[in-house]
Amino acid sequence: MGGDEGVRLMMAGVALARHRHDGLRFTLFGDETRIKAALDNHPNLRAASDVVHADTVVDGADKPSVAIRKKSSSMSMAIAAVKSGDAGAAVSAGNTGALMAMAKLALRTMPGIDRPALSALLPTRGDNDVVMLDLGANTECDARNLVQFAVMGAAYARIAFDLERPRVRLLNIGTEELKGTDEIRDAAAILRAADVLPMSFDGFTEGDKISRGDTDVIVCDGFSGNVALKTIEGTARFVTDVLRNAFTSSIRSKIGFLISKPAMHLLKHHLDPNNHNGAVFLGLNGVVVKSHGSADAKGIANAVHVAARLLEEDITRRIAADMAAVQALIASSKLEQPVK
């Protein structure tokens, strides 16, 4: 029931995902009448779907404290299905804060994980995107949180990019070892020593290098990550708006646009947020994926694809194994336990 365009567009996106993953089945929670009406346009999806009626909906303006009391909402019922094992993952385009609060309350965090993190793939100039976390779930983080985020992000990158040892860096105000807060420097010290983990810790990176493509995972607290994400999104819109204005300013500019149209199409495709849609709440005992509310059908399908890939590659098992290795190193005194 989430998303700016409502049920019709959500069903169109899920139908696209069904074509990409023909082995999946879907349980669709929400207004039964509206969902079944939308399914009439997608017989292939209808054959692979069960519809569960939900009496209420979490509104975009609902505070998390209000949303979690809506036990009969579509969002709550979807997460409950993951908890019970009736669903492998939950995908929602609804209220982000409510989704995080409900998921954390129902699914709880994995052993060794103090807080879940919101992670997403961002476009770069390199061969791969970059996994970035946390993007807003935790405004303040200590060194232990950052280490856990690095472990979770590296596990995600191994699945998303098919890498054995993803390159991991901490977002900082400089690349020198003495730069940054105590929490960032302490986390860096732990990650440098944890060479048994399936990742390559490459120190620090700065905000202007996020899109360079020389890093696979960028780790930060949720406050910094959310600011960086919104800045990147705003800059992308600024660039496209400036180019649009420039190419329509005169006859000569319009001719120039026609000549450069193939290149502009590639740029638009690269910056299209629908191609990177699907943020993941990492660290929970279950897979929960957040689709952007303004995503189109292609974007919704991509969010479902992210959920399917994480299930196929058993992301929770990977994170649990890596966190066990970190805890073993700490217990053997090879790493200093960071102070909370």
Q: What is the model's pLDDT at position 98?
A: 92
Q: Which residues are CB-contacts of 88 (< 8 A; sequence separation ≥ 6)?
A: 82, 287, 307, 311
From 65, 35, 69, 71, select the one nearest 50 (Cα to Cα): 35
The neighbouring-strand residues paired with 30 are 53
Q: What is the model's pLDDT at position 324?
A: 86
pLDDT of residue 340 exceeding 80: no
CB 218, CB 169: distance < 8 Å: yes
Residue 332: pLDDT band with limits 50, 70, 90: low
171-228 tens-digit pLDDT: 999 999 888 899 999 999 989 988 888 899 999 999 999 989 899 999 999 999 999 9
Residue 31: pLDDT band with limits 50, 70, 90: very high
44-88 tens-digit pLDDT: 899 899 999 999 999 888 898 999 999 999 999 999 999 999 999
Domains of the chain in start order, with CATH, are 1-107 (no CATH), 111-278+306-340 (3.40.718.10)
246-291 tens-digit pLDDT: 777 778 777 776 776 676 666 666 667 778 888 999 999 999 999 9
Q: Which residues are CB-contacts of 228 (< 8 A; sequence separation ≥ 6)?
A: 132, 171, 207, 210, 220
Q: What is the model's pLDDT at position 238?
A: 83
**pLDDT greater at residue 66 or residue 334:** 66
pLDDT of residue 19 exceeding 50: yes
Sign, CA torsion 153/159/161/165: positive
Residue 327: pLDDT band with limits 50, 70, 90: confident
The neighbouring-strand residues paired with 109 are 284
Q: Which two tokens stand for residue 91?
A: 């995908």
Q: What is the model's pLDDT at position 232?
A: 83
Residue 235: pLDDT band with limits 50, 70, 90: confident
pLDDT of residue 100 exceeding 70: yes
From 282, 329, 338, 332, select the one nearest 310 (Cα to Cα): 282
pLDDT of residue 96 exceeding 70: yes
Residue 306: pLDDT band with limits 50, 70, 90: very high
CB 286, CB 105: distance < 8 Å: no
Reading phi first (left if > 0) and then psi (alpha if -120 to 50, else beta), residue 62 is in beta
Q: What is the model's pLDDT at position 339?
A: 44
CB 247, CB 72: distance < 8 Å: no
Q: Provide the whole-model pTM.
A: 0.86
Per the omega criterion (within 30 degrees of 0), is the bond before 62 cis? no
